[in-house]
Amino acid sequence: STGCQAAQSLAVKKGMEQAVKDQGLQEEVQVVGVGCMGFCGQGPIVQIDSESSEAADGLYYEKVTPEQSHSIIEGLKGAEVTANQGDANHPFFSRQFQIVREYSGKIDPEKIGDYLAMGGYQSLYHAVYEMSPEDVIAEITKAGLRGRGGAGYPTGLKWATMAKMPPGQKYVICNADEGDPGAFMDRSVLESDPHRILEGMAIAGYAVGANQGYIYVRAEYPLAISRLEKAIKQAKRQGFLGSSILGSPIDFNIDIRVGAGAFVCGEETALIASIDGGRGVPRPRPPYPAVSGLWEKPTLINNVETLGNIAPIIRNGADWFASIGTEKSKGTKIFSLTGKVCNNGLIEVPMGITLREIVEVMGGGVPDGGKVKAVQTGGPSGGCIPAEYMDTPVDYDSLTKLGSMMGSGGMVVMDESTNMVQVAQFYMEFCQEESCGKCIPCRTGTVQMYELLTKVIKGKAKPEDLEKLEHLCQMVRVTSLCGLGMSAPNPVLSTLRYFKSEYEEFLALKA
């Protein structure tokens, strides 16, 4: 994927292919490029899967350089390998439970044959030939899947609302406009296993009666876009998309729409406006997109990770899915674990796992024996959870109770050297830049909040400025038109709630 390609994984692959040729091993050794294995901080990663040697099977090398690629191939014949051997049973891997990322890092994302060999598109076949649309919706509802884009709205309920709309033109949209700083879950899924998303969309289309889908993906994800384009072509050629999918009377097409990088276009009504050809700004709801969306037709919008869960739920059943996670948050969640943590990368964990297990066990804690000060979840819409709440289970409701949110899955670890007022200022700067300006509370409020935070950091604020800041946060939260403005105050409110002394220290500078 993109992260490893930036670290020369393509040169590593080329070097290994050359080494296979040089050593005449073409009959025995195949070099396969796969998607993201998740351990981004340690990439590029090379793993050996061997049918002939137990000793070699599962060997795993980290931070492989192009110079080391020959050595890995020579190692298959018993020579010493110069690359760093990693531990494939590391807690970073062993504590994961992969549903959406089950094939990521295992298949070549550019080959539909790899996806089919894993059982790909069988769920679509099962849905179209053995289930009615109502059965599919009932299964998704029973599974308890909630939207993974941030709000956590029940997916089955959304699908059922769409299905109830009168027959006629309907659309399915995959929201791949991932824009939170530090979040790259959707990019990785699209780059590593694009057919899974196409299959999820086709099942959704069948269930709600839509014959056209759009994937709205940000322009900053060129590899994801090119893999999606290839996947769509392959799926059409093999009859999984297009007219009469799988020989049935069902039609379902997918096209890609590339966003221009506005964070607000992740908001569903802004996204629809953007595909519509208008300016990407939100509008008041109702009407909800399920009633009047793209070109005023009923439109179902689900994010990448939500759609990535659909084929496994149809394949394994709602009960299987509902047995994973907690009572109100079923299944798994992908997080991009970043910041001051030893093991950076993507993890997929069952809902309900504690923050401590993620950060300290899987993430290996703070480098150089440092201490965790806070964990920021949910990106600019989320909040900062202090270290004393590390035993909190990670699920929609527990994170909201603490003043943060699940969001789309960004998780940034902060150590004791981090100044929390500066963190709040960073996220506010992001929100004021990304505010579309349509409504006054967000357009003006985010600027005012940013300026107040800057005043605090410069040591020029008075105690009443903190009161003003908090008051402003509440006002912007309650009166903004869309989620961007409603949640922009969260990083400020959560740091005021848990780290007020750091604000007061800046006030003391004035004294």
Give the binding site for ligand SF4 (CB under 6 A). 264, 281-282, 435-439, 442-443, 480-482, 484-485
CB of 176 to ligand SF4, least distance (A): 19
E strand spans, 109-252? 171-176, 212-218
CB of 476 to ligand SF4, least distance (A): 8
CB of 363 to ligand SF4, least distance (A): 32
Q: Considering beta carbons, is residue 127 or 484 the nearer one to ligand SF4?
A: 484
Q: How far apart are CA 169 and CA 485, in angstroms?
A: 32
Q: How far apart are CA 302 and CA 299, in angstroms?
A: 10
* CB of 391 closer than 8 Å to CB of 355: yes
Q: Considering beta carbons, is residue 7 or 275 the nearer one to ligand SF4?
A: 275
CB of 479 to ligand SF4, least distance (A): 9
Burial (CB count <10 Å: 0-12, 13-18, 19+), residue 475: middle
Q: How far apart are CA 184 and CA 346, in angstroms?
A: 8
Structure tokens at 173: 């949209």
Give the CB-nearest residue to ligand SF4: 485
* CB of 207 closer than 8 Å to CB of 137: yes
Q: Considering beta carbons, is residue 268 or 395 the nearer one to ligand SF4?
A: 268
Q: Considering beta carbons, is residue 204 or 270 the nearer one to ligand SF4?
A: 270
Q: Considering beta carbons, is residue 267 or 502 the nearer one to ligand SF4?
A: 267
Q: What are the backbone angles phi and psi of residue 72, rounded to the nearest 5°?
A: -65, -40
CB of 115 to ligand SF4, least distance (A): 37
CB of 449 to ligand SF4, least distance (A): 12
CB of 471 to ligand SF4, least distance (A): 18
Q: Considering beta carbons, is residue 111 or 443 the nearer one to ligand SF4?
A: 443
Q: Which residues of 220-239 are buried (b: 16+ CB within 10 A; e: fewer)?
A: bbeebbebbebbbebbbeee
Which residue in 190, 166, 179, 185 sits closest to 267, CA to CA?
A: 179
CB of 265 to ligand SF4, least distance (A): 10
Q: Considering beta carbons, is residue 194 or 280 the nearer one to ligand SF4?
A: 280
Structure tokens at 78: 């018993």
Handedness of CA 60, 63, 69, 71 (dihedral sign): negative
Structure tokens at 144: 């308890």
Q: Considering beta carbons, is residue 241 or 442 the nearer one to ligand SF4?
A: 442
